[in-house]
């Protein structure tokens, strides 16, 4: 991972502002996300993290500014045009949001319902493969109510990756989970970053997850995370940080740069 990768912008926010009623929940936000890069979004509750992901998905339109995703300007687009871009994005919502009346297999394969080019057999094969990725293939015929919270979160990840998206949006994927399940989910996310070169925006409240993402890489031979400082050479883990405060972007940079900040609000996130 020390090789220089060609830069390719996957997401660009250019002075994006979003208001709900009169309140600006995001103000003049500008940043880019490159291919293979992860941006970790930190900020207090209500600072605008989920809103930022939902704008990237085109679920809302900004009041001003431009958002470009995978080469398409998505701000001010209709639903039909957005559908094409959204197919290349996987989102793990903060609320999880599985369909209770569908089996796990049907939940994961759901995206193919709107893609007539994918046969039901192919959809099932891909859904099983995605469930194997999160080590839950055995739950294929079960219903969400029969799974634990941590298992449901992993199913939500399987559902998000099943279409092999180029861009992943994770909203607090490990919130409220035990340390073992959280570590398992973080390993999956780093694997996506390092093996698939998938670009991600990831919201988290867990500082240990953020530090781990920035300081480790996925080793395919050991199928596990290793510290990026090993082997003498320090690897670039292609992970940077965005910090939001009341809708404003107050920091954008590496973990080391964040750790060096004296601002008390910024220091809070690494405490």
Tell me the closest approach of the beta carbon of residue 246 to Mg ion, in angstroms.
14
CB-CB contact of 87 with 110 (8 Å): no
Ramachandran angles phi, psi of 163, nearest 5°: -85, 15
φ/ψ bin of 71: left (φ > 0), alpha (ψ from -120 to 50), beta (otherwise): left
Q: CA distances (Å), 251 to each of 30, 38, 94, 208, 244, in order?
A: 11, 15, 23, 19, 7
Tell me the closest approach of the beta carbon of residue 200 to ligand ATP, in angstroms.
16
Q: Which stretch binds Mg ion (CB under 5 A): 14-22, 48-56, 60-68, 244-252?
A: 48-56
In this complex, which beta carbon is closest to Mg ion, that of residue 93 or of residue 112?
93
20 binds ligand ATP (CB under 6 A): yes
Footprint (CB under 6 A) of ligand ATP, residues 32-51: 43, 45-51
In this complex, which beta carbon is closest to ligand ATP, that of residue 50 or of residue 139?
50
Footprint (CB under 6 A) of ligand ATP, residues 53-82: none
Tell me the closest approach of the beta carbon of residue 94 to ligand ATP, in angstroms.
6
Going by the DSSP 8-state scheme, the letter that residue 9 receives in this structure is E
Tell me the closest approach of the beta carbon of residue 155 to ligand ATP, in angstroms.
21
Cα gap 267→271, rounded to integer Å: 6
Ramachandran angles phi, psi of 152, nearest 5°: -60, -35
Residues that bind ligand ATP (CB under 6 A): 20, 25, 43, 45-51, 94
């Amino acid at each position: 991972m020390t090789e220089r990768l060609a830069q390719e912008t996957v997401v660009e926010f250019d002075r994006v502002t979003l208001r709900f009623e009169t309140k600006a929940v995001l103000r003049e936000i500008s940043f880019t996300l490159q291919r293979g890069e992860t941006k970790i979004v930190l900020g207090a509750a209500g600072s605008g993290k989920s809103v930022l992901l939902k704008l990237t998905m085109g679920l809302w339109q900004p009041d001003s500014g431009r958002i470009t995703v995978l080469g398409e300007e998505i701000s001010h687009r209709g639903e039909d045009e957005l559908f094409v871009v959204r197919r290349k994005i996987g989102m793990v919502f903060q609320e999880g949001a599985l369909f209770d009346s569908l089996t796990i297999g049907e939940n994961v394969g759901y995206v193919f319902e709107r893609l007539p080019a994918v046969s039901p057999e192919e959809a099932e094969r891909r859904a099983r493969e995605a469930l194997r990725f999160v080590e839950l293939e055995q739950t294929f015929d079960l219903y969400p109510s029969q799974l634990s919270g941590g298992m449901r979160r992993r199913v939500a990840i399987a559902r998000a990756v099943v279409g092999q998206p180029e861009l992943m949006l994770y909203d607090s994927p490990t919130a409220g989970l035990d340390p073992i399940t959280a570590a398992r989910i973080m390993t999956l996310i780093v694997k996506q970053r390092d093996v698939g070169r998938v670009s991600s925006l990831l919201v988290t409240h867990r500082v240990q997850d953020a530090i781990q993402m920035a300081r480790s890489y996925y080793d395919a031979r050991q199928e596990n995370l290793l510290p990026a400082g090993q082997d003498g050479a320090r690897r670039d883990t292609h992970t940077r940080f965005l910090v939001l405060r009341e809708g404003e972007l107050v920091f954008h940079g590496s973990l080391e740069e964040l750790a060096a900040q004296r601002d008390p609000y910024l220091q809070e996130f690494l405490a």
